Amino acid sequence: MRFALIWFCLLAATALAQTTAKRPPIVRSLRYENFHRVSVHEIIERFDARGVRLSVERAYDPKDVARATTALRQLLEERGQPGARVKATVHPIPPRGRAVEVVFTAMNE
């Protein structure tokens, strides 16, 4: 009987750990550095127009970050910064790393 109880507890703990590990972290913060020619409002409008689903309190998806980077680069080019590059950096937020901050940095060449 004890063996069955211990076995059940181990199985339950393993299932819980696998379920927790599969869930993507939540985006807690979005920052935009060196975007001098565009406002955050314009960035949000561009994300909506391009179907970029990256926003605070949503699940983190690397594909959304890639789409957002492309949309931001195009926005900067339209605002007179040809050849502008956008770098995205993802920082885990302690203590468990179940949340992230995404920082977009505009780098002019």
Q: What is the pLDDT of residues 61-84, one digit of tens each?
A: 999 999 999 999 999 999 988 889
| Type and span of the H or E element at 74 | helix 62-78
Selection from 61, 51, 50, 67 nearest residue 90 by Cα: 61
Share of the chain above pLDDT 90, in %: 64
- Overall pTM surpassing 0.95 (yes/no): no
Residue 60 identity (one-letter amino acid): Y
Per the model's pLDDT, the better-predicted residue between 16 and 41 turns out to be 41
Does 106 have pLDDT greater than 80?
Answer: yes
Look up the CATH superfamily of 23-107: membrane protein fhac (3.10.20.310)
CB-based contact 68:55 (threshold 8 Å): no
31: amino acid identity, one letter: R
Q: Residues 9, 10, 12, 14: what is their CA dihedral angle, to the nearest 10 degrees?
A: 160
